[in-house]
Amino acid sequence: MELQFLGTGAGTPSRERNVTSISLNLSEYNRGSWLFDCGEGTQHQILRTPIKPGKIEKIFITHLHGDHIFGLPGLLTSRSMNGATEPLTLYGPVGIKTFVETSLQLSGSWLTFPLEIVEITAGEVCNDEQFRVTAFPLTHPVECYGYRIDEHDKPGALDAERLKADGYLPGPYYYDLKQGRSVTLDDGRVVNGWDYVGSTIKGRSLAIFGDTAPTAAANDLAAGVDLMVHEATLEVAMEEKANGRGHSSTVQAARVAKESGAKRLIITHLSSRYLRQDCERLLDECRAVFPATEMAHDFAVFVV
């Protein structure tokens, strides 16, 4: 899996950073991609990436501030104008349905694909064959969530050589055995897949925070994840100002990563006051607390 940052700025776009949007590439599963937030200009950013709007399966919105949702009407209508027919599911806090439907109605827009809009609360958001997504409430002036993505554990490798040695020749039933199922062969023999499958491979986990001041839910959201994405709107010297507006400082983001047992931290959602030359200083503030910290820039790609 890969995370690509389409926008890494807070509040307003700058010359160096667009407003928030993140893409999760699921091509290793022969699937498309998911988006997390869709700030203004997201569809323009997508034009500079391999992302295909028609292959976006799900969009998860953390909250309804403009820098996280104003790109939605344009992306949805452009997806239609390009002839997309694949369904798309949009998740977000209460109000996201009204925002999207009103925008489409007042602009006389129409969609060529089925759009399902799910207004969420804390708890499980969706669960399919590969992933479970859970929403956690954060601390912000409006209702806001962070999303935890847990990949389901996978069966270990199938020991095909031992199967053949035991007289079970290769065939389509090997797929069922790899899933740990029991298979009855034509000659009546029953083969238990778990007898030939190695140790379970633990699924990967990812936490994507929306905007938040320090919050009680943070450690549960990010507990032991392989990769954590957290806002770091302002430097530590401006921590009081950040918290007063429902945001976090660099050091506070790093503390969450350390206390939750996350393996890696990526900071994003930086104030437009910071220019490229400020980045190392902000990154150093995080690394003093949590060394495995990286900073996202627009179009940066990170492997999960």
Cα separation, 20 vs 65, in Å, equals: 11
Q: Give kind and range of the element (H or E) at residue 47.
A: none
Instruction: Please name the residues in contact with 4: beta carbons below 8 A apart, sequence gap of 6 or more.
Output: 22, 23, 25, 49, 51, 299, 300, 301, 302
- Residues 10 and 247 sit within 8 Å (Cβ to Cβ): yes
Query: Strand pairing of 270-271 and 265-268?
Result: unpaired
Nearest one of 7, 61, 41 to 210, comparing CA atoms = 61
Cα separation, 35 vs 28, in Å, equals: 16
- Residues 180 and 237 sit within 8 Å (Cβ to Cβ): no
Sign of torsion, CA 136 137 143 144? Answer: negative
Report residue 20 as tokens. Answer: 């928030």
Among 37, 67, 211, 298, the active-site one is 67
- Residues 135 and 123 sit within 8 Å (Cβ to Cβ): yes
Nearest one of 48, 46, 43, 42 to 18, comparing CA atoms = 42
Residue 166 bears catalytic tag: no
- Residue numbers annotated as active site: 67
